[in-house]
Amino acid sequence: MYKKSIFTLVILAMGFQLNAQEKTEDTRDMAIFGVKAGGNISNVYDASGDAFVANPKLGFAGGAFLSLPLSTTLGFQPEVLFSQKGFKATGQLLGSGYIITRTSNFLDIPLLFALKPSKYLTVLVGPQYSYLMKQTDVIANGPNSYMQEQAFKNDNIHKNTLCFTGGLDIHQDQMIFSLRAGWDVQKNNGDGTSSTPRYKNVWYQATIGFRIN
């Protein structure tokens, strides 16, 4: 599914760039503020847990960005985003199977270094700080479902996570089409004693943005 999703995003990005007109302003030497919204396709990797098998989940992503030039071809771009991640999974806990749908609402703050080879294209890469604002689990099946719900509810989890992210911004007039991919570098459990699945988040993101100035 991920390969198909990435292929679709790349095709959309190429089409978006090919439709760009020469009237697009060269903003590489300008400080740019804008807003953007779109979606995530998220899952987990480096997972451990009894028979834990996860599948991707869709979520909302949106926020604001500030592009600061260091030169015509180099820049710095901090962003502040509300980002939904999560997964749908099956596993074993307390002696019985379960099905879980997890939605994790994060405040993401990527600090991105920008390479701007043309007025249409920006390549971005850098670290990201993520703060877990809310996590919702929907658990189904299993004779021990109540006890499983309590185990997930009482789980010790990281609220603060360091991530690595990168991607492309494609510019056309006032619009900016953004593609991102990101990986956590820390697992979700806080003290390492969790009985529920341990994992790191991974996500792919596509957004449409509008520069305000």
Q: How confident is the model over 183-210, as a mean pLDDT? A: 84
Q: How confident is the model over 189-213, as a mean pLDDT? A: 83
> Can you give the pLDDT at residue 37?
98
> Can you give the pLDDT at residue 114?
97
Q: Is the pLDDT of residue 92 over 70?
A: yes
**DSSP labels, the chain:** -HHHHHHHHHHHHHHHHHT--TTS---TTS-EEEEEEEEEEEEEEEEESTT-EEE-EEEEEEEEEEEEESSSSEEEEEEEEEEEEEEEEEEEETTEEEEEEEEEEEEEEEEEEEE-SSSSEEEEEEEEEEEEEEEEEEEE-STTHHHHHHHHHT--B-SEEEEEEEEEEEEETTEEEEEEEEEESS-SBSSS--SS-EEEEEEEEEEEEEE--
Q: Cβ neighbours of residue 172 under 8 Å, at least 6 residues apart?
A: 16, 17, 19, 20, 21, 24, 120
Q: Is the pLDDT of residue 146 over 60?
A: no
Question: Highest mean pLDDT range out of 15-24, 86-95, 131-140?
Answer: 131-140
Q: Is the pLDDT of residue 2 over 70?
A: no
> Can you give the pLDDT at residue 20?
46
Of 4-13, 92-101, 111-120, 137-146, the one with minimum mean pLDDT is 4-13
Percent of the chain residues topping a pLDDT of 70: 77
Q: pTM for this one?
A: 0.82
Mean pLDDT in the chain?
84
Q: Is the pLDDT of residue 11 over 60?
A: no
Structure-model confidence comparison of residues 142 and 137, the more confident one: 137
Which class is 2-211 in CATH?
mainly beta
Q: Is the pLDDT of residue 14 over 70?
A: no
Domain range list for the chain: 2-211
Q: How confident is the model at residue 109 (pLDDT cuts 50, 70, 90)?
A: very high
Question: Highest mean pLDDT range out of 49-58, 93-102, 159-168, 187-196?
Answer: 159-168
Q: How confident is the model over 166-187, as a mean pLDDT? A: 94
Q: How confident is the model at residue 64 (pLDDT cuts 50, 70, 90)?
A: very high
**Which tokens is 22 given?**
């020469």
Structure-model confidence comparison of residues 197 and 173, the more confident one: 173
